[in-house]
Structure 1
């Protein structure tokens, strides 16, 4: 069986039109299988040079002059590029800056303030903690009620659930596009349309989507979206997030964290805050210019590959992981907790087994790096441009080996 899988992995790698992109990434000799690319992407080799050039050039040589020459426009220029290459968003709707948590708070708070007379928020009880904590905090701050959606952790939020929770008091729906536990892909166009019918706004968390799925925010008539850039965009630990605000809403929404960089004329040092026009008003403090350098390198790669091809590779990788599960891991009692239907599956696969907490710790010792998610999920995160099919098999074969030593794993 393992011989057949080895042959299968080799054939898939040989036929992969994106295989050559893997050479662009930094590799560690101590890591034989990196299965956590949806949590922190590998750095690019070119980023070494790019960071040095930034220190010696724009920062070291141009110094404060670089603000006028290039840095002031970086949040919106890079935002437009993310929108064009990855989000299906026209220019002027995406901005880079702040962390995911702060950007979620800013856009959610602005949306709630723009919905007078409505005092309910719809959110998923199984979404990533940041999303839930932001919702909890805003509800307490404003005296709003949260209508929590309970979902099967092996699937995700469905249209019927959202529709049943909507009403004339719904101000905002805040959901992850892809469930971080199961990789379930929510029906963005249909859920957005249902919320609009009820008079609500929708804020989508794209952290597990951007760079892995072919998104179409404008076509879906999305209102608001936030996403991180250290997963599939390989921006590095703490890389800034991005926010999307549909053009039709920008004049209606008020920035809740009024900082000088979002003002109409930052260097006027005015007595009162006057917001900038357009998406720039959603900037607060000084943009994280240094954190944008690695992200630009990955955008070059993604644009070269094409997001449609990246998505096709992602589907193939996760499909192969499921194939390995069926042939190698199911016999050890491992259960698949992600959708088999590729249209409903994002860029990772969740496998469940009661011993996976201990197994994950031992995998790390062997240079196999997946992620563990309580209560007993092993998350196989597959970044398409840096991951081979052989690497997937190497990692999952190590899982099988350890499960064969279950008493030791425990």
Structure 2
């Protein structure tokens, strides 16, 4: 394998040209200063924020305060002083602008899988009797498929795996629920949330969208596009940290009728009454189940401070510019035929990652990581690079592509 610091790139292009362009782009990037809001190791190009986001600078101090003062000194009093008990709704409102939701519709807590189970069973119950099918993205993240199967068994529906492009033709009056990923986790393909939601509504079906690979990287517009229910994690582009709680969005128009299959005491209208009968709380609060994970919950709240003053539209513009530039650098540096992009070239169909197919992908990614370029591998043959515009720059994109070129050179 060649020295990644060599001056000549495979194919004849000179790194200095692309390096100079990267420097100019970084110098004029309005979001470049946001990198200072994160702690990143020196010398590392981090392109795996679509798996685990970087650490925002204020989180460690906030966690120390929670542990030493709120837990250590205030003890149980911290539940009732307005900080802990209201965190799921408060933090839900804080992240709502990033998914295009008005306040009062998003509650934070549990994992994506648990929230998806609530959403799918709740969606089936909202759809009502006489419907028999649940259409599920055929290439969905495996856990989504497992949860969909369980939710379907519970509600008497049949799961029908369907390519998102075929959803409009597959819909019918017997369709109860449509579960779709906004962005494909392997390829980075972005699916048409507005059009697919409209198509589902045209036959009376309820939509559930998984936003794990889009929220925080691009505008989602849940309210604007009349999405019914949505779930997502917060440890990827939202940088909430490992094991950060997920969220559940319940459109305001469905909240009164939303019947959660997990009616925990935190979702009760009067949780401290401790009555034997369950009465759901008003609003999205009925999506709560048990005691929230306070340490990770408040770490997420602090992490979201990194978004102060940031426009999600500006993030999307930089994401597209970064991925365009990376693909251009790959074409210049990597020998022809060594890799194949499986990420759509069209902006309308591209999320915030680039996936490249190649032989020996696992070994190639391991070598990239050893050289300070951190992406990830997806079986059987995909190199996956996530671009988080809050802390990834154009010089990072150029170095990653150049290093990849030298591995193949």
Q: Quick check: 202-211 or 338-347, which moved more?
A: 338-347
Tell me the distance in 1 between the aligned counterparts of 2:51 and 2:328. Answer: 23
Could you say what the CA RMSD is over the residues aligned between the two structures, in angstroms? 1.4
- Quick check: 2:58–2:303 contact (8 Å CA) kept in 1? no
2:387 corresponds in structure 1 to 382
- Quick check: 1:147–1:165 contact (8 Å CA) kept in 2? no
* 1:80-99 residue CA offsets vs partner (Å, 9 max, x unmatched): 1211x212111111000000
Q: Normalised by the size of structure 1, how large is the TM-score? A: 0.93
Q: 1:320 to 1:297 in 2, by over 3 A?
A: farther
1:48 corresponds in structure 2 to 60
1:149 maps onto 2:162 in alignment: yes
1:237 corresponds in structure 2 to 242
1:167 maps onto 2:166 in alignment: no
Tell me the distance in 2 between the aligned counterparts of 1:287 and 1:364. Answer: 35
* 1:202-253 residue CA offsets vs partner (Å, 9 max, x unmatched): 0000011111111211110110000100001111111000110001111112
1:32 Cα shift? 2.0
Pick one of 307, 315, 326 that aligns with 1:321: 326
Tell me the distance in 2 between the aligned counterparts of 1:387 and 1:260. Answer: 42
2:339 corresponds in structure 1 to 334
- Quick check: 1:325–1:336 contact (8 Å CA) kept in 2? no
Tell me the distance in 2 between the aligned counterparts of 1:62 and 1:76. Answer: 22
Tell me the distance in 1 between the aligned counterparts of 2:218 and 2:73. Answer: 39
Which consecutive unaligned segments of at least 5 residues does structure 2 have? 1-12
- Quick check: 1:122–1:174 contact (8 Å CA) kept in 2? yes
- 3-state DSSP class of the match of 1:69? coil
1:91 corresponds in structure 2 to 103
1:357 Cα shift? 1.6
* 1:371-406 residue CA offsets vs partner (Å, 9 max, x unmatched): 1112211111011111111112222222111122xx
- Quick check: 1:332–1:400 contact (8 Å CA) kept in 2? no
1:126 Cα shift? 0.8
1:11 corresponds in structure 2 to 24
Tell me the distance in 1 between the aligned counterparts of 2:141 and 2:77. Answer: 40
1:138 Cα shift? 2.0
* 1:260-297 residue CA offsets vs partner (Å, 9 max, x unmatched): 11101111111211111111111000112211223223
1:330 Cα shift? 5.2
Tell me the distance in 1 between the aligned counterparts of 2:291 and 2:87. Answer: 11
Q: How many pairs does the alignment contain?
A: 394
Q: Quick check: 48-57 or 166-175, which moved more?
A: 48-57
Pick one of 256, 259, 264 that aligns with 1:259: 264
* 1:156-196 residue CA offsets vs partner (Å, 9 max, x unmatched): x22xx111111111110000011112212111111111101
2:6 corresponds in structure 1 to none
Q: Quick check: 385-394 or 102-111, which moved more?
A: 385-394
1:286 maps onto 2:299 in alignment: no
1:332 Cα shift? 4.6
1:143 Cα shift? 3.8
- Quick check: 2:232–2:248 contact (8 Å CA) kept in 1? yes
- 3-state DSSP class of the match of 1:175? strand
Q: Normalised by the size of structure 2, how large is the TM-score? A: 0.93
Which consecutive unaligned segments of at least 5 residues does structure 1 have? 151-156, 405-410
1:59 maps onto 2:71 in alignment: yes
